[in-house]
Amino acid sequence: MTRNNDTAACFHCGLPADRHAAYSAVVDGVTRPMCCAGCAAVARAIDSAGLSGYYRHRTANPKSPRDLVPVELERLAVYDHEEIQKSFVQTRTGSERRANLVLEDIQCAACIWLNERHLKTLPGVIDVSINYSTQQASVTWDNDRIRLSEILAAVRAIGYEAHPYDPNRQQLLLEKQRRKLLKQLGVAAAVGMQVMILTVALYTGEWYGMEPEFEQFFRKFSLLLTIPVLFYSGNSFFRNAMTDLKLRRVSMDVPVSIGIALAFGASALHVAVGEGAIYFESVCMFVLFLLAARYFELMSRTRAMLAAESIGYIKPSTARRVDVVGNGDASMIPALELVRGDTINVLPGETIPVDGIIVSGKSGVDEAV
């Protein structure tokens, strides 16, 4: 009992925190327990930036942050080299730069809200736009006032990971999530079908008669089969619900977990006493449908990411620049070398490589994606 009284949940990440430990942070004027110096630093940064509303709106906890060590700072500094930036950074007017970054550990819309507002408070950051479906951030900054490595470190400082957009790395992350969810879904489906068969047998036995020994065997076997669905396939629901309850808030996973636990508990009790209705098939089907919905949501995000990539592939990598100062000849150059004020020549049927206005000739543009 003493251990429970001395242990609280970290206000930032939800992990256990000692009430008497030195780690704490003041959020909205209230001292909150923290599990480590990293969470305390992140919480203070969020509160001092006026972004404490994040804690009221989030529906899931971030991972516990880690302090940036010199090796990691050195790794981030590599992204400041122009040779490295050529592959993913666009040079705009003067010192203005733009890049697409991938954010990891995004759990909910509140994470998007926090990252956008945190980055916009940085001096030199001009614009930030984050897409929840693809978890990509489009960041525009003044390279004379802030470096890309500082932006990446700022994201890391509030408990998230950011790195330049890499289709292969993004695909690997989504594939890892898909495989884990597919395994949970497969267990729920395979076991759920077996439990459903046993349930049909029990219903048939009520109508046409069944030996009590067989009835009790089917009921106990249904209980055993439902256990892996409850603790493996439904593990994420209970884990998220416990974290929410520790932080005294309610998300969708809380009523879902309560419903599953009550149905399973009542059914297990009826099996123990040898009479009463059981709902193991309902537990299995409920978990199955919820996991299926999350799987389809993940697949939708994957398709959105692939669609965004396909648009990038459509964009031509070269352009025909016209020498308006000289003899007016057009020469083929990389599209990335175009600057504001250049004049390009676009032949019929070609894709326009950049935004611009028509200065001569008449054209009809197909804007379909």
Domain ranges of the chain: 2-54, 70-165, 171-311, 316-369
Single-letter residue type at 198: L
Instruction: State yes or no: pLDDT of 126 exceeds 80.
Output: yes
Mean pLDDT of 311-320: 69
Higher pLDDT, 60 or 105: 105
Instruction: State yes or no: pLDDT of 48 exceeds 70.
Output: yes
Instruction: State yes or no: pLDDT of 195 exceeds 90.
Output: yes
Single-letter residue type at 352: I
Q: What is the pTM of this model?
A: 0.55
CA gap 199, 197 in Å, rounded? 5
DSSP assignment of 176-188, as one string? Answer: HHHHHHHHHHHHH
Mean pLDDT of 273-291: 92
> Among 34-48, 219-233, 318-332, whose mean pLDDT is lowest?
34-48
The answer for 332, left when phi > 0, alpha when psi is -120 to 50, beta otherwise, is beta
Instruction: State yes or no: pLDDT of 247 exceeds 70.
Output: no
Position 187 confidence tier, pLDDT thresholds 50, 70, 90: very high
Position 369 confidence tier, pLDDT thresholds 50, 70, 90: low
Single-letter residue type at 76: L
Position 73 confidence tier, pLDDT thresholds 50, 70, 90: low
Q: Exposed, middle or buried: residue 98 (CB in 10 Å: 0-12, 13-18, 19+)?
A: middle
Assigned CATH class of 70-165: alpha beta
Higher pLDDT, 142 or 349: 142
Instruction: State yes or no: pLDDT of 68 exceeds 50.
Output: no
Residue identified by tokens 């930030």 is 128
Higher pLDDT, 320 or 271: 271
Position 66 confidence tier, pLDDT thresholds 50, 70, 90: very low
Structure tokens at 211: 């030996």
Higher pLDDT, 13 or 321: 321
Structure tokens at 111: 């994470």
CA gap 128, 120 in Å, rounded? 7
Structure tokens at 237: 């629901």
Q: What is the pLDDT of residue 352?
A: 80
Cβ neighbours around 314 below 10 Å, total: 9
Higher pLDDT, 26 or 198: 198
CA neighbor of 346 nearest in space, from 355, 107, 133: 355
CA gap 90, 126 in Å, rounded? 14
Mean pLDDT of 261-288: 92
Cβ neighbours around 105 below 10 Å, total: 16
CA distances from 73 to 38, 101, 121, 231 (A): 16, 17, 21, 40
**Rounded to 5 degrees, what are φ and ψ at 338?**
-70, 140
